[in-house]
Chains A and B, each alone.
Chain A
């Protein structure tokens, strides 16, 4: 029995019913259909991730569309569309957000396959990049903290010096007074 979702268009419902029937009547097809469903899910996940990154960057669709020289509905279609999405589109979208896609292939278990060394090198590179960024941010904060500390110390030293200067001035004044009286 085909599962009919009432919110789907008539033709989509018809194709879904055909897909389910084909899976029932041609058992060889079942795994392949499951694979296609996974592929569809992967595309949806990529689209969702793009949208998540855009929102996290505080950029609206119209602004991103402008950066990509596209219309806002086109950006919406990239994020909400269905089916295949070109790799170039993925790259351009990421670039417009100031990002770069980082792709690798894994076994379903998560283990990296194929170019293990390359993937490891890319991970290392990414780690280095993040470390440099962290160092830069940390250095900048450290410099600010040091500056504040020095300013604070100087201010404190100034406050401590003030009474000493007053005492010196008083002593000098007393000395001068004593000298003056001895001359008289």
Chain B
């Protein structure tokens, strides 16, 4: 499903905007990559991305971006992104400073739990 016409909510205005600014200052290159990942997420569309949690019936979903298959082989920082189909919004809700590589399966289990908390 395309989310190109959804509204992107600026994460600097959100509850973890301050934390995000600090992390961006410490890791500018990774931060720039993460912002590019947002473009990729929108271009790719929901149906082609990775669902971290299933729909809860209220039209809200949480996605891991970059996708799991990318991060599994190339550990990197990642976003948890909430898509609200009812409100037609895309919102970054969480930053994973490092995801993937060895122990990815265990990380995935943890991410699923974390994601559920953002629904």
**Partner-B contacts on A (CB < 8 A):** 9-15, 17-19, 21-22, 25-26, 28-29, 31-33, 35-36, 39-40, 81-84
Please report which residues of chain B, range 6-21, place their CB below 8 angstroms from some CB of chain A when the two chains form the complex.
6-12, 21
Do A83 and B10 contact each other (CB < 8 Å), given the known contacts A22-B24, A22-B31, A26-B24? no
**B8/A10 in contact, CB under 8 A:** yes
In this complex, how many residues of chain B approach chain A with their Cβ under 8 Å: the count is 26
**B42/A15 in contact, CB under 8 A:** yes
Do A21 and B29 contact each other (CB < 8 Å), given the known contacts A9-B5, A12-B39, A83-B40? no
Per a CB cutoff under 8 Å, which of B5, B7, B9, B10 touches A21?
A: B10
Task: Determine chain B's interface SS by DSSP, over half rule.
Answer: helix
Beyond A22-B12, A32-B32, A36-B35, 13 extra complex contacts between A and B, CB < 8 Å: A11-B7, A11-B42, A12-B4, A12-B42, A14-B7, A14-B8, A14-B90, A15-B42, A17-B10, A18-B35, A21-B10, A39-B36, A83-B39
**A32/B42 in contact, CB under 8 A:** no
A16 to B, closest residue via Cβ: B39
Residues of A within 8 A of B43 (CB): 81-83
Q: In the complex the two chains form, what is the Cα distance from A13 to B9 in whole Å?
A: 11
| B59 CB–A CB distance under 8 Å | no
Q: In the complex the two chains form, what is the Cα distance from A81 to B9 in whole Å?
A: 24
Q: In the complex the two chains form, what is the Cα distance from A110 to B59 in whole Å?
A: 51
**A21/B8 in contact, CB under 8 A:** no
Residues of A within 8 A of B93 (CB): none
| B101 CB–A CB distance under 8 Å | no
Per a CB cutoff under 8 Å, which of B10, B28, B39 touches A31?
A: B28
Min Cβ gap A46→B in Å is: 16
**A10/B5 in contact, CB under 8 A:** yes
